[in-house]
Structure 1
Amino acid sequence: MDSEQSQSAAAPPAPWYSAYPAPKSDTPNKIVREEVLELLKSVDASGAKDFVLIDVRRSDYEGGSIRGSINIPAQSMYTTIASLYVLFKAAGIKKVIWYCNSSRGRGTRASIWFQDYLNEKNDNQLESMILVEGIKGWATSGGEYTERMDEYVQSYWEKA
């Protein structure tokens, strides 16, 4: 094989997360959409909020997001863990709920990385968890869920 052929057969680039330490666990804490919906309803009733929703999608940030969530792409999340921790503690947050499209990759990784940080701090007051089935599960579960989305695009979820 000549050098041109060997260059084209080179290994694909490493995934983005390989630049960071592997999560210490492969089992994140989980929360189902019904529980998140109840949390959102309690905010409607009382105005008090002790949780935060974080959408970790980047290039696939389409079709809408859960109202009130913030977008922190997973690719830039690891380097901000300490700052996020300080902000969440100052705000009185008790639950940090991460999600991506399905919450089987980026959402899980972000949740575990943050939980690892909480464990290092011996912080039992704050919990890091993933939204089971991610935004796709949320957006395809009916009107009670989609009415709590910003920029919801029904046609996007019909093809997903």
Structure 2
Amino acid sequence: MAASTDNQPDNPASPWYSAYPAVKGDVKGLSRDAVLELLHTEGAGTAFVLVDVRRADHEGGTIRGSINLPAQSLFPTIPTLYALFKAAGAKKVIWYCGSSKGRGTRAAGWFGDHLDERRDEEMESLILEGGIKGWAKAGDRFVEMMDEYDEAVWEKFE
């Protein structure tokens, strides 16, 4: 998937991610229906980890059980995150941002590249297709699985 350009206000000429390597491998997606099913059957934090990589736009709610690790500071922590997720027995790490077309895809790609370098075929790095915007607009069964949901935030995306 192509990544968008998320420029930072402190240096608009150079995107924040330009300091880090380009993603080498392909990034696979997981539908929101599949993630919802995982939440109902497995529960976040057991067989999978949900990672919300939003920072300044972290508003309107988040998917229940997800952790917030802003993409802008993520890359140097990947080896530590990998060790923690591995020790916890996570088989899937599911990343998302607003749309999962920029930061989410980039984070999933970096983590997937780390998995490839480690030759770890037991863990997957995936993106939530449609991101949190798609999740929040998909109806009640998705919204019910959000913490701190604020409908007013999502109305502006109609």
Q: Same fold (TM over 0.5)?
A: yes
Partner of 1:16: 16
- 2:155 corresponds in structure 1 to 158
| Aligned length in residues | 147
Q: Give 1 or 2 for the bigger CA radius of gyration.
A: 1
Aligned to 2:69: 72
2:75 counterpart SS class? helix
Residue 7 of structure 2 corresponds to: none
* Letter of the structure 2 residue corresponding to residue 67 of structure 1: R
Deviation of the 1:12 alpha carbon: 4.3
Runs of 4 or more consecutive aligned structure 1 residues displaced over 2 Å after TM superposition: none
Q: Deviations over 1:78-101 (max 9, x none)?
A: 000000000000000000000000
Report how far residue 49 of structure 1 moved.
Answer: 2.1
Larger mean Cα displacement after TM superposition, 12-21 or 69-78: 12-21
* Structure 2 residue runs without a partner (length 5+): 1-10
Residue in structure 2 matched with residue 6 of structure 1 by the alignment: none
Secondary structure (helix, strand or coil) at the match of 1:130 reads strand
**1:3-152 equivalence runs, <5 A:** 12-25=12-25, 27-43=26-42, 49-152=46-149
| AA aligned opposite 1:53 | L
1:13-47 per-position Cα deviation (integer Å, ceiling 9, x unaligned): 2100001111113x311100000000011036xx9
Structure with greater proportional helix content: 1
Separation of aligned partners in 2, 1:125 and 1:43: 17
Assess, with a 3 A threshold, how the Cα gap between structure 1 residues 85 and 143 changes in structure 2: closer, same or farther: same
Give the % identical residues: 59
- Provide the aligned C-alpha RMSD in A: 1.5
Assess if the C-alpha contact under 8 Å between 2:111 and 2:125 holds in 1: yes
Q: Name the amino acid aligned to 2:28.
A: N
* SS of alignment partner, residue 42 of structure 2: helix
TM-score computed with the length of structure 1 as normaliser: 0.88
Structure 1 residues 86 and 18, CA, compared in 2 at 3 Å: closer, same or farther?
same
TM-score (norm 2): 0.89
Task: Identify unmatched segments of 5+ residues in structure 1.
Answer: 1-10
The answer as to whether partners of 2:45 and 2:90 remain within 8 angstroms in 1 is no
* Shift in alpha-carbon separation, 1:48–1:65, aligned structure 2, 3 A: closer
| Equivalent-residue separation in structure 1 for 2:42 and 2:22 (angstroms) | 35
Q: 1:7 aligns to what?
A: none
Cα distance in structure 1, aligned partners of 2:42 and 2:48: 10
